[in-house]
Amino acid sequence: MAEQKLVLVTGATGFVGKWTILRLLEAGYSVRGTVRSMRRVTDVFRTLTDNLGREPVSRLELVEADLLADSGWSEAMAGVDVVMHVAAAIRGDEPRDQDLVIRPALEGTERVLKAAKAAGVRRVILTSSIATVGYGHGHTTGRRVYDESHFTNLDGMKFKWAYCIGKTKAEQLAWAFARDNDIELTTIHPGAIIGPALDADASISVGLVSGLLDGSTPAVPSNGFCVIDVRDVADLHVAALQKPETAGQRYLATSDYTPFPKVAEILQAAYPDRKVVLKTVPDWIIRLIAMFGGPARQIINDIGNEKIFDGSKGEKLLGRKFISSKDSILATAESVIRLGLVP
The predicted-structure confidence for 171-180, as pLDDT tens digits, reads as follows 999 999 999 9
Q: In the chain, what percentage of residues exceed pLDDT 90?
A: 67
What mean pLDDT comes out for the span 214-235?
89
Does the pLDDT at position 44 exceed 80?
A: yes
Q: Which helix (H) or strand (E) holds 329?
A: helix 325-338
Q: Which helix (H) or strand (E) holds 170?
A: helix 162-181
Q: What angle do CA 16, 21, 23 make, to 5 degrees?
A: 95
Task: Please state whether the predicted TM-score (pTM) of the whole model is above 0.75.
Answer: yes
Q: How many whole angstroms separate alpha carbon 48 and alpha carbon 74?
A: 26
- Residue 84 forms beta bridges with which residues? 9, 125
Q: Given CA atoms 16, 18, 23, 28 in this order, what sign does their dihedral have?
A: positive
Distances (CA, A) of 337 to 43, 263, 274: 20, 16, 12
pLDDT band at 220 (very low <50, low <70, confident <90, very high): confident
Question: Three-class SS of residue 335?
Answer: helix
Count other C-beta atoms under 10 Å from residue 35's C-beta.
Answer: 23
Q: Helices 162-181 and 99-118 meet at what angle, rounded to 10?
A: 20
Identity (one letter) of the amino acid at 257?
A: Y
- C-alpha 297: how far from its chain's center? 19
First-to-last CA distance in the chain? 41
Q: How many whole angstroms separate alpha carbon 267 and alpha carbon 110?
A: 41
In this prediction, residue 76 carries a pLDDT of 97
Total length of the chain: 343
166 burial level (CB within 10 Å; 0-12, 13-18, 19+): buried
pLDDT tens digits for range 274-303: 988 888 877 667 677 766 666 766 676 777
What mean pLDDT comes out for the span 95-100?
73
Q: Is 142 left (phi over 0), alpha (psi -120 to 50) or beta?
A: left
Count other C-beta atoms under 10 Å from residue 255's C-beta.
Answer: 25
In this prediction, residue 1 carries a pLDDT of 43
- Residue 258 forms beta bridges with which residues? 225
Q: How many whole angstroms separate alpha carbon 37 and alpha carbon 63?
A: 9
Q: In the chain, what percentage of residues exceed pLDDT 70?
A: 92
- Residue 178 forms beta bridges with which residues? none
Fold of 6-338: Rossmann fold (3.40.50)
Q: Which residues have a catalytic role annotated?
A: 167
